[in-house]
Amino acid sequence: MKIKPFSTELFFALYEFTAAHMLSSSDCETMSVGELLQKSGRSASDLGQLQLGYTESQGNPAYRKLVCQLYQDVTPEDVVILTSPVEGIYLTMQTLLNPADHVIALGPAYDALHNVAEHLCGQLDLWQLQPTSTSWQLDFDSLNLMISPRTRLIIVNFPHNPTGFQPTPEEFHLLLQIAEENDCWVFCDEIYRGLETGLQEQLSIPSAADCFEKAIVLNGLSKTYGLPGLRAGWLVVRDSALRNQLIGWKHYTTICPSAPTEFLAMQALQVHKQLAIDSSQLVAANLREFDAFVQQYPGHIRWRAPQAGSTALAEIRLDAFNGALPEPVDTVSDYCHLLAKQHGILLLPGVCLGGPANSVRIGLGRRGFSTALQAWRATGHFLSH
Ligand SMILES: Cc1ncc(COP(=O)(O)O)c(C=O)c1O
């Protein structure tokens, strides 16, 4: 059986390294190795002295100890260092799921969160976030209808890519309570944690790792901390039997983390608060800018401003854009390809993530956001006829 194509990766592979204007990235602005070393008070010669032997499969204990700072009640034994955040999705699904298991996953979602589980079990029920006039909401009635004694796992991601949805603490605890009552595991992808930068109030929730024994929590340095090229990620797995099985799978994927990544990830974790503040400030500024942009073109584009994370979905009114295009396009995906090819502006079609067909993902974590919006304006696509 073949796994579904990874639509987001396939789309980005076409344009990510050539497009001049990134309006859709999920990661926050990055930095050089030199800047990271400088921020953490280390030198290039410290990095130069690093030995390039194999590392510990579960991850360097000092690195795991630094990871624990991000949680209230997690010990280094609970942490498994990965060779990339996305590896944690693969390892968890392989470890936990059997062909007859039923899985429920929040939708829309980052492709891997659905596709690996669906590939292994053949059956995955989507728990769709419901749009409201200004935001998104969880539909607990539909979760209660979907859940059954066969349900082994619920997959969620908060703050959520792509909508920027964040549950309230009450909703989050209700979800964990439902999982507990039904004896389900919860895979909670928290890779955008620390970016609680909404327009209205600050919305932070605890980590699932601190609330629920049967939570498996994914995090890493790619998004909030702006270091996707490091490929640094980790899982928190409180259940020791599951953790050992998972490390058993890791022997067949990457064996152990990369030594330079471990070294640099430890430096980043020493200064993680500052890195998250820098990213949050950039997201907040871009968010306000995009909100003003949307208000300027209500006939063309609308959005539900995110509550947290670095992404949001915006709705494209294709008829309005088609009025200004030499050749009308049939779908929002076609419009995204046109924008990338003819104008070097990258917007990800929402359908890549299982979102509405008329949506695109907006990425708020990068510098150059104003220039990118200017470039979009300069296409003339917002002119009304
Ligand atoms: C929700 C979510 N989880 C996991 C990942 C994987 O992160 P990485 O590409 O750094 O492995 C991503 C990347 O976009 C993501 O959006």
Tens place of pLDDT for every residue, the chain, 385 residues?
689 999 999 999 999 999 999 999 999 999 999 999 999 999 999 999 999 999 999 999 999 999 999 999 999 999 999 999 999 999 999 999 999 999 999 999 999 999 999 999 988 999 999 999 999 999 999 999 999 999 999 999 999 999 999 999 999 999 999 999 999 999 999 999 999 976 666 688 999 999 999 999 999 999 999 999 999 999 999 999 999 999 999 999 999 999 999 999 999 999 999 999 999 999 999 999 999 999 999 999 999 999 999 999 999 999 999 999 989 999 999 999 999 999 999 999 999 999 999 999 999 999 999 999 999 999 999 986 5
Closest CA to 111 of 329, 319, 353, 362: 353
Q: What is residue 331's three-state secondary structure?
A: coil
Q: How many angstroms separate the alpha carbon of residue 85 from the centre of ligand 1?
A: 6
Closest-CA residue, ligand 1 atom 6, reads 86
Can you tell me the distance from the alpha carbon of 117 to that of 153, in angstroms, rounded to the nearest whole number? 9
Percent of the chain whose pLDDT exceeds 70 = 98
Domains of the chain by residue range: 7-31+275-376, 33-273
Residue 201 confidence (pLDDT): 62
Q: How many angstroms separate the alpha carbon of residue 221 from the centre of ligand 1?
A: 10
Residue 1 confidence (pLDDT): 66
Whether 228 is in the pocket of ligand 1, judged by its Cβ within 6 Å, is: yes
pLDDT in tens, 244-284: 999 999 999 999 999 999 999 999 999 999 999 999 999 99
Residue 203 confidence (pLDDT): 80
pTM exceeds 0.75: yes
Can you tell me the distance from the alpha carbon of 177 to that of 64, in angstroms, rounded to the nearest whole number? 28
CATH class of domain segment(s) 33-273: alpha beta
Q: Mutation test of ligand 1: which of 24, 27, 116, 161 has the most ligand atoms closer than 8 Å to its C-beta?
A: 161
Instruction: Give the DSSP letter of residue 376.
Output: H
| Residues 6 or more apart in contact with residue 262 via CB below 8 angstroms | 55, 59, 60, 63, 81, 232
Whether 26 is in the pocket of ligand 1, judged by its Cβ within 6 Å, is: yes
Closest-CA residue, ligand 1 atom 5, reads 86
Residue 197 confidence (pLDDT): 79
Q: How many angstroms separate the alpha carbon of residue 251 from the centre of ligand 1?
A: 21
Can you tell me the distance from the alpha carbon of 84 to that of 263, in angstroms, rounded to the nearest whole number? 14
Whether 222 is in the pocket of ligand 1, judged by its Cβ within 6 Å, is: yes
Q: Which atom from ligand 1 is nearest to the alpha carbon of 231? A: 10
Closest-CA residue, ligand 1 atom 2, reads 110
Q: How many angstroms separate the alpha carbon of residue 155 from the centre of ligand 1?
A: 14
Cα 311 to the center of its chain, rounded Å: 9
E strands present in 190-268: 215-220, 233-237
Q: Which atom from ligand 1 is nearest to the alpha carbon of 192? A: 1
7-31+275-376: CATH, from 3.40.50.1010, 1.10.275.10, 2.60.40.2300, 3.90.1150.10: 3.90.1150.10
Closest CA to 365 of 268, 233, 222, 261: 222
pLDDT in tens, 19-30: 999 999 999 999
On whether the CB atoms of residues 198 and 307 are closer than 8 A, the answer is yes
Can you tell me the distance from the alpha carbon of 276 to that of 261, in angstroms, rounded to the nearest whole number? 19
